[in-house]
Amino acid sequence: MSPVRSGGPPRRIGWSRLQSWAVVGFLVVLPLPLALGFGWFGLNPVTAERNAPVGSLAHELLNSFPDDRLLVEIASAPGAAPPAASVSLLWARMNETVQKASIQFVFETVSVPTASFTADGLFSIEEGVRQSWPAVGEMALFYLCLHGSYADQSGVLGLAYRGSSIAVFSDTIASTAGGGDPTAITSTVLIHEFGHELGLVGLVGTAPNEDPAHPGHSTDPNDVMYYAVETSGGLGSLFGGTPPPTQFGAADLADLGTVRNTPIPLELIPPVVLTLCWIAAGAAVVVVRRAALRS
């Protein structure tokens, strides 16, 4: 007599419908905490700027979409504000390069200690004084004009240290001017660092005029992106009594077309992650519905 076995065939242990929809919901909302953590989609602009290398916001600066307005914030320590003529020349160069419906300048005086600053130290100050950050519909560029110097390299006149953040060292500029009018040198510094934020030279794409010995700078001494105009020693030895250049060279202006058409990996990550999460969520919905029909 054969033994009698109780029960039917083994049952598959699967997820409940509630668990399945929880997975779908997780995939749908996953981009939100990522955006808050990394500063994507304008949800956390301070964090986004902290993680933005120089040149990584070139498309937002250059193009009319998605930001058709540019706000330029110039925050200066007392006595460190750039001359009006330098700001006017910067405005002219911006109008020659960016595709914006409007460019607005905002000026403010801030309390900043006189010190030797690192790039991280500059950003720490920026966090406390900056009023406008890049946002959907309006790009923002920040100039921090202060006394003191750059800790990592002596004689630096100006420094682009984040994707929309620039420091200008007025004391070093005044010393380089030798007691004369610092307007010409200040103009060069403002425009030169703006050029770096646009992705020049070779920061975005490949620039034929990039100097291999000085990456990010032009080989043309008449170009405002020439390497020597960024330090006091370079200006003194190169130009003497001749005003330093304030024009982007023809190669720079041509290269801006290349910059506009060159993908920047950091700006591609957020939409790619969003798309993948939502595709996965859509696929999960299909699986859940098919499982419900079979049950």
- For 111-143, what is each residue's pLDDT tens digit? 999 999 999 999 999 999 999 999 888 999 999
Q: What CATH number is associated with residue 165?
A: 3.40.390.10
Domain membership of residue 282 (yes or no) is no
Rg (CA), the chain: 26
**pLDDT mean over 19-38:** 74
Domain membership of residue 280 (yes or no) is no
Residue 46 lies inside a defined structural domain of this protein = yes
Contact 184, 244 (CB under 8 A): yes
pLDDT band with cut points at 50, 70 and 90 for residue 12: very low
208 pLDDT more than 70 = yes
* Residue 254 falls inside a structural domain: yes
Within a domain: 126: yes
**How distant, in Å, are the alpha carbons of 83, 176, 192, 236 from that of 243?**
16, 12, 14, 11
Mean per-residue pLDDT over the chain, rounded: 87
Any domain includes 174 = yes
Whether the CB-CB separation of 97 and 89 falls below 8 Å is answered with: no
Q: What is the pLDDT of residues 258-276, one digit of tens each?
A: 999 999 988 888 788 778 8
CA atoms within 13 A on the CB side of 276: 8
Domain count, the chain: 1
Domain membership of residue 96 as a residue range: 29-270
pLDDT tens-digit map of 144-198: 999 999 999 889 999 999 999 999 999 999 998 888 899 999 999 999 999 999 9
Mean pLDDT of the 2-7 span: 52
In which band, very low, low, confident or very high, does the pLDDT at 280 lie, cut at 50, 70 and 90? Answer: confident
Do the domain assignments include residue 106?
Answer: yes
pLDDT of residue 162: 98
Q: Is residue 244 part of a domain?
A: yes
Q: What is the pTM for the complete model shown?
A: 0.85
Query: What's the N-to-C CA distance of the chain in angstroms?
Result: 37
- Number of residues written out for the chain: 295
